[in-house]
Structure 1
Amino acid sequence: MAFAHEIEDKPVNARLLDVDLVIYRTSEGISVARDICPHRGTRLSGGWMDGDTLVCPMHGLCFDHSGQCTKIPSIADPNAKIPPKMRLMSLKSEVRYGIVFACLSDEPAHPLPVWPGIEDESLKNLYIPSGTWHAAASRHVENFNDVAHFPWVHQGTFGGKTADPIPPYKVEKTDYGLSFQLPYLEGGNRFPDDVEGSERQVTYTYQLTLPFSTIIIIAPNDSDYRQYFADTVCPVSAHETRIFQVCTDTTSDPDADFLVKESLLINDEDKPMVEGQRPEDLPLDLTEEIHIPADRMSVEYRRTLAKLGLGAPMAS
Structure 2
Amino acid sequence: MFLPVDNAQHESDLPKNCTFAPNDWHILAGFWHPVAFVHDIKDVPVPARLLDVDLVIWRTQDGISVARDLCPHRGTRLSAGRIDDGQLICPMHGLHFDGAGHCTKIPSNPDQDARVSPRLRLQSLLVQERYGIVWTCLVQTPTWPLPDWPGIGDDTLKKVFVPSGTWAAAASRHVENFNDVAHFPWVHVNTFGGDENDRVPPYDVHATDHGLTFDLGYEEGFNRFPDDVPGDTRHVVYSYELTFPFSTIIIIRPNDSWYVQYFADTVCPVSAHETRIFQVATDTTGAPDEDFLIKESLMINDEDKHLVENQHPEDLPLGIMDEVHIPADRMSVAYRRALVEKFGLGARLSS
CA distance in 2, matches of 1:312, 1:159: 37
Query: Do structure 1's residue 43 and structure 2's residue 77 form an aligned pair?
Result: yes
Please say if residues 33 and 90 of structure 1, whose CA atoms lie closer than 8 Å, have aligned partners that are also in contact. yes
CA distance in 2, matches of 1:313, 1:244: 31
The residue aligned with 1:256 is 290
Query: How far is 1:176 from its partner?
Result: 1.2
CA distance in 1, matches of 2:178, 2:316: 14
CA distance in 1, matches of 2:348, 2:312: 15
**Gaps (5+ residues) in structure 1?**
none
CA distance in 1, matches of 2:84, 2:134: 22
Query: How far is 1:215 from its partner?
Result: 0.1
Summarize deviations over 1:222-268 as a string: whole Å, max 9, x none.
Answer: 01100000000000000000000000011111001110000000000
CA distance in 1, matches of 2:251, 2:202: 19
Pairs within 5 Å for 1:16-27 = 16-27=50-61
Summarize deviations over 1:90-115 as a string: whole Å, max 9, x none.
Answer: 01111110111110111112110110
Query: How far is 1:310 from its partner?
Result: 2.3
Summarize deviations over 1:12-56 as a string: whole Å, max 9, x none.
Answer: 000001000000000110000000000000000000001120000
Query: Do structure 1's residue 150 and structure 2's residue 223 form an aligned pair?
Result: no
Aligned to 1:45, the other structure's residue is in SS state helix
CA distance in 2, matches of 1:107, 1:197: 51
Query: Do structure 1's residue 310 and structure 2's residue 310 form an aligned pair?
Result: no
Summarize deviations over 1:96-137 as a string: whole Å, max 9, x none.
Answer: 101111101111121101100001111000000000000000
- Equivalent of 2:196 in 145, 162, 183: 162
CA distance in 1, matches of 2:173, 2:127: 25
The residue aligned with 2:13 is none
Query: Do structure 1's residue 59 and structure 2's residue 103 form an aligned pair?
Result: no
Please say if residues 282 and 311 of structure 1, whose CA atoms lie closer than 8 Å, have aligned partners that are also in contact. no
How many pairs align?
314
Please say if residues 220 and 233 of structure 2, whose CA atoms lie closer than 8 Å, have aligned partners that are also in contact. yes
- Equivalent of 2:163 in 91, 104, 129: 129
Query: How far is 1:79 from its partner?
Result: 1.4
- Name the amino acid aligned to 1:132: T
Please say if residues 131 and 243 of structure 1, whose CA atoms lie closer than 8 Å, have aligned partners that are also in contact. yes
Pairs within 5 Å for 1:250-289 = 250-289=284-323
Pairs within 5 Å for 1:189-204 = 189-204=223-238
Query: Do structure 1's residue 9 and structure 2's residue 43 form an aligned pair?
Result: yes
Pairwise CA RMSD: 1.0
Q: What TM-score do the two structures reach when normalised by structure 2?
A: 0.88
CA distance in 1, matches of 2:339, 2:318: 7
The residue aligned with 2:19 is none
The sequence identity of aligned pairs, in percent, is 68
CA distance in 1, matches of 2:300, 2:61: 37
Query: How far is 1:183 from its partner?
Result: 0.3
Query: How far is 1:313 from its partner?
Result: 5.0
Distance 1:128 1:167, change over 3 A: same
The residue aligned with 1:176 is 210
Instruction: Return 202-211 or 75-84, whichever deviates more.
Output: 75-84
The residue aligned with 1:102 is 136
CA distance in 2, matches of 1:296, 1:44: 45
Please say if residues 106 and 112 of structure 2, whose CA atoms lie closer than 8 Å, have aligned partners that are also in contact. no
The residue aligned with 2:8 is none
Please say if residues 36 and 43 of structure 1, whose CA atoms lie closer than 8 Å, have aligned partners that are also in contact. yes
CA distance in 1, matches of 2:303, 2:110: 60
Q: What TM-score do the two structures reach when normalised by structure 1?
A: 0.98
Query: Do structure 1's residue 83 and structure 2's residue 117 form an aligned pair?
Result: yes
CA distance in 1, matches of 2:49, 2:290: 29
Query: How far is 1:72 from its partner?
Result: 0.3
Runs of 4+ in 1 over 3 A off after TM superposition: 311-314
CA distance in 2, matches of 1:91, 1:72: 23
CA distance in 2, matches of 1:120, 1:75: 50
